[in-house]
Structure 1
Amino acid sequence: MIDETAEQLRERVAVELERARARTALLTDAVDDDDLIRQHSPLMSPLVWDLAHVGNQEELWLVRDVGGRDPVRHDIDELYDAFKHVRADRPQLPLLGPAEARGYVATVRDKVLDLLGGVPFEGRRLTTDGFAFGMIVQHEQQHDETMLATHQLRVGPAALNAPPPPPAGARVAGEVLVPGGPFTMGTSTEAWALDNERPAHVVDVPAFFIDAACVTNREYARFIAEGGYSQPRWWSEDGWRHRMEADLTAPMHWQRDGDGWAYTRFGRTEPVNPDEPVVHVCCYEAQAYAAWAGKRLPTEAEWEKAARFDPATGRSRRYPWGDESPSAHRANLGQRHLAPAPAGAYPDGASPLGVHQLIGDVWEWTSSDFVGYPGFAAFPYREYSEVFFGPKYKVLRGGSFGTDAAACRGTFRNWDFPIRRQIFSGFRCARDAEPV
């Protein structure tokens, strides 16, 4: 982060809050009230729940805690507590209706902008460098991506529009050798980094090869054609059990189209683009493909080293291309497009070693369980990360086309059950380097 005055930080916070809210409005205004209150999948909340939930979290942390002001709606806290009600049950709750939810989040935001001018960005860890505001910005953008995934699951005509991603600007294929040795993983200096990204620590990673690009639809279709879903030998025991129980035969949203494949994306059905990264596959599918290809998924440490390590200086960058924040010519982020871009579309975003599109396009499954780093300390509450630690969740890295830059960096960690496919998830493969 560049050094900022308090006023510059206030201005940046206000811009980021407004940017997140504009995206929330786009996602909720694109459909009618019936769509807002409908549950489009038991895996997802009604869109109207997400809308009021982001306002409730903003009220809890910024209005009440940071601002010390009276509650706006104390009576709805339990309704919008994500740990009190699973997603499948939320439509039965007495939720705020669309108009009431919009009015509520607007009232909360007015109070936040009013108190922003007087908050000291020092003296208290929650407000130092505007952390609490950054946490809320990231929280809303994360729910915006969740709402975008809900849009992908809804049935009906297209409600969202965006230009297509750029075409490939470079030919990207094969593997990249990442040299062995120590590198700094995580961060202790990124002001808005969340607790699971901290602290920075040195990890010694043996040399390995990693794919220069994510696995594409063309490559994945070959796996299907060669019997990848019908041969247990490529699957883990848990993976094969899930493949059979869920009757998996192709990525989510794929359907046969003559001799090829089509997919339905945000209400539009079109032929699968062979050069795009495969998306909407679960971790078990990614593991099976990697085994079929004679490879494996990268560990989380391998992924981060490939994304951040600069062999010329030995330091870890914020992003593959350097320390500058993402821009439109470096990464496919922020819902600018409604699809991942073809391999090679962002040559300016490649790492020094030549690994492409590590940020944006698709979340990338790793083989690692979600655990805390050495020296981890929960902040500001255990429920953000710590309660999810353990072998049930696998780590995903890098963000997707639906992830905002505010909630994506080289240290950012996502996690989910290995069976999940409704998220914008893909993968790339790795393998051990042969001993010299």
Structure 2
Amino acid sequence: MTDPALDAETLRERAVASLITARDRTTLLTSCVDEPELTAQHSPLMSPLVWDLAHIGNQEEQWLLRAVAGHEAIRPEIDGLYDAFEHPRAERPSLPLLPPDEARRYAADVRGRALDVLEAAAFDGTRLTEAGFAFGMIAQHEQQHDETMLITHQLRRGPRALTAPDPEPVPLFTGPSEVLVPGGPFTMGTSDEPWALDNERPAHRREVAPFRIDTTPVTNAAYQAFIADGGYDEPRWWTAEGWAHVRRNAITAPLFWRRDGGQWLRRRFGVTEAVPPDEPVLHVCWYEADAYARWAGRRLPTEAEWEKAARYDPAGDRSARYPWGDAEPTPEHANLGQRHLRPAPAGSYPAGESPLGVRQLIGDVWEWTSSDFLPYPGFRAFPYKEYSEVFFGPGHKVLRGGSFAVDAVACRGTFRNWDLPVRRQIFSGFRTARSEEI
């Protein structure tokens, strides 16, 4: 997340800061529980925390020490253990993984050597080193696994292991419920964001018809109205696959919710609490988001619609890096970086509003779109096809915007996330849209 014009020393400082921020978070997530909790598999959907820890170190070794610096492998015998494609998550507890203390030592050894490589890096020559791309890629990779580990913490049973202050309370949002996004072309994706990943590239013009989009993400209160109206019992709101999925798995509410008399409760990082009505709804799968939108007489936005709402500035007919402009995110712009352990109330962060008046497009909750995860015209896999290319197709749906669990280094107006439409353990919510009648 850097300016193309930055000099080498500034790039170096940003890369160091991004790597240190990621490692501090990794340390927090793996030091707040004891060894049995680190080696246990808290859900078949997730790896043991100790696998993520050593995998972070192994990826850093492969790319920064071997690929960039040309060093000999430190632990070549563990590469296969920490290859995410070789071993599905459900199998990882049975592997001969590094014990927690050894995994920590390995990751620390790699990091010390990587910082030496960074100190001497010239940031030119190959595409891998240009503008510090490899270092930014590894910082993003670690932060993505930190979010994965935070999901594991949410899934684990037992007392609270993590704490963070709540977002600042705000008055109930009373602004317009939706915003008009004008039709016409806009620039989607990027060709000049140095640390952008391959699926964000290249920049290209995309035509979008006029549409209206929710000003804020859908709230818990709004979603409760869907439940109360029998939304989970009415097949007409669901795709055939979605209806089969919720019936087969007896899904009747967002993940971690339960009914207690006349009140909805949720479990959040080891604490049971009342579901706050004004927060964006969280832990819903694509099928649930799509069904709600149909029930509301609306639809999920396409990925292109979401990005135009988030980046398009009609005053300059340009696409900015973020809804608020090109400046890096601050705590006034968005809820990012695990600063809080929950979304902020709908309507928060007016400083992060887009020029069209849409709020909370970055941070708080990942937002499901209606789009399949597909390559942009002119896409080229870099530096390895397993990051994006192997996931392209109708099996995965695109999520946009990031969540409270995402660090700013891995979140921008062009950043693309994707997952299976059944996934609910992720920090996912949504907003709805409708086509503008012409």
* TM-score bracket for the superposition, by shorter chain length: over 0.9
The share of aligned pairs that are identical, in percent, is: 67
Output the CA distance in 2 between the equivalents of 1:9 and 1:367.
36
Output the CA distance in 1 between the equivalents of 2:131 and 2:175.
39
Output the CA distance in 1 between the equivalents of 2:183 and 2:118.
46
Q: Give, as a single letter, the amino acid of the residue that structure 1 aligns with 2:114.
A: V
Map Cα deviations across residues 350-380 of structure 1 (whole Å, 9 max, x no partner). Answer: 1011100000000000000000000000000
SS in 2 for 1:395: strand
Output the CA distance in 2 between the equivalents of 1:172 and 1:319.
21
Map Cα deviations across residues 22-66 of structure 1 (whole Å, 9 max, x no partner). Answer: 000000001000000000000000000000000000000001110
Q: Does 1:202 align with 2:205?
A: yes
Q: Does 1:394 align with 2:415?
A: no
Which residue of 75, 78, 83 corresponds with 2:77?
Answer: 75
Alignment of 1:153-302 (within 5 A): 153-168=155-170, 170-302=173-305
Output the CA distance in 1 between the equivalents of 2:227 and 2:187.
38
Q: Give, as a single letter, the amino acid of the residue that structure 1 aligns with 2:51.
A: W
> Any conservation in 2 of the 1:172–1:213 contact (CA below 8 Å)?
no
TM-score by structure 1 length? 0.99
Deviation at 1:7? 1.7
Map Cα deviations across residues 269-300 of structure 1 (whole Å, 9 max, x no partner). Answer: 11000000000000000000000000000000
> Any conservation in 2 of the 1:168–1:346 contact (CA below 8 Å)?
no
Moved more, 11-20 or 329-338: 11-20
Q: Give, as a single letter, the amino acid of the residue that structure 2 aligns with 1:134.
A: G
Output the CA distance in 1 between the equivalents of 2:68 and 2:298.
49
Output the CA distance in 2 between the equivalents of 1:209 and 1:100.
53
Q: Give, as a single letter, the amino acid of the residue that structure 2 aligns with 1:226.
A: D
Map Cα deviations across residues 319-356 of structure 1 (whole Å, 9 max, x no partner). Answer: 00000011101100000000000011111101011100
Map Cα deviations across residues 221-274 of structure 1 (whole Å, 9 max, x no partner). Answer: 000000000000000111101111111100000011221201000000110000
Alignment-derived partner of residue 12 in structure 2: 10
> Any conservation in 2 of the 1:311–1:352 contact (CA below 8 Å)?
yes
Output the CA distance in 2 between the equivalents of 1:11 and 1:392.
39
Which residue of 82, 102, 105 corresponds with 1:103?
Answer: 105
> Any conservation in 2 of the 1:340–1:361 contact (CA below 8 Å)?
yes
Output the CA distance in 2 between the equivalents of 1:190 and 1:245.
43
Q: Give, as a single letter, the amino acid of the residue that structure 2 aligns with 1:310.
A: D
Output the CA distance in 2 between the equivalents of 1:77 and 1:238.
37
Alignment-derived partner of residue 423 in structure 1: 426
Which residue of 354, 359, 362 corresponds with 2:357?
Answer: 354
Deviation at 1:394? 0.1
SS in 2 for 1:7: helix
Output the CA distance in 2 between the equivalents of 1:414 and 1:168.
29
> Residues 48 and 412 of structure 1: is their aligned pair in 2 closer, same or farther, counting only changes over 3 Å?
same
Alignment-derived partner of residue 19 in structure 1: 21
Deviation at 1:116? 1.3
> Any conservation in 2 of the 1:364–1:425 contact (CA below 8 Å)?
yes
TM-score by structure 2 length? 0.98
SS in 2 for 1:117: helix
Alignment of 1:48-63 (within 5 A): 48-63=50-65
Q: Give, as a single letter, the amino acid of the residue that structure 1 aligns with 2:91.
A: D
Deviation at 1:208? 0.3
> Any conservation in 2 of the 1:329–1:348 contact (CA below 8 Å)?
yes
Deviation at 1:417? 0.2
Output the CA distance in 1 between the equivalents of 2:119 and 2:293.
52
SS in 1 for 2:112: helix
Output the CA distance in 2 between the equivalents of 1:391 and 1:209.
25
Deviation at 1:11? 1.7
Map Cα deviations across residues 171-227 of structure 1 (whole Å, 9 max, x no partner). Answer: 344111100000000000000000000000000100000000100000000000000
Which residue of 147, 150, 175 corresponds with 1:148?
Answer: 150
Q: Give, as a single letter, the amino acid of the residue that structure 2 aligns with 1:22.
A: D
> Any conservation in 2 of the 1:286–1:426 contact (CA below 8 Å)?
yes
Structure 1 unaligned segments of length 5 or more: list them: none
Q: Give, as a single letter, the amino acid of the residue that structure 1 aligns with 2:327.
A: E
Q: Does 1:92 align with 2:59?
A: no
Output the CA distance in 2 between the equivalents of 1:86 and 1:398.
27
Q: Give, as a single letter, the amino acid of the residue that structure 1 aligns with 2:208.
A: V
Structure 2 unaligned segments of length 5 or more: list them: none
> Any conservation in 2 of the 1:257–1:271 contact (CA below 8 Å)?
no
> Any conservation in 2 of the 1:172–1:343 contact (CA below 8 Å)?
no
Which residue of 407, 410, 413 corresponds with 1:410?
Answer: 413
Output the CA distance in 2 between the equivalents of 1:357 and 1:257.
30
Deviation at 1:168? 2.4
Deviation at 1:4? 2.1
> Any conservation in 2 of the 1:223–1:292 contact (CA below 8 Å)?
yes
Figure out how many residues of one structure are paired with residues of the other and give that number.
435
SS in 2 for 1:106: helix
Map Cα deviations across residues 363-420 of structure 1 (whole Å, 9 max, x no partner). Answer: 0000000000000000001000000000000000000000000000000000000000
> Residues 173 and 157 of structure 1: is their aligned pair in 2 closer, same or farther, counting only changes over 3 Å?
farther
> Residues 315 and 387 of structure 1: is their aligned pair in 2 closer, same or farther, counting only changes over 3 Å?
same
Moved more, 383-392 or 117-126: 117-126
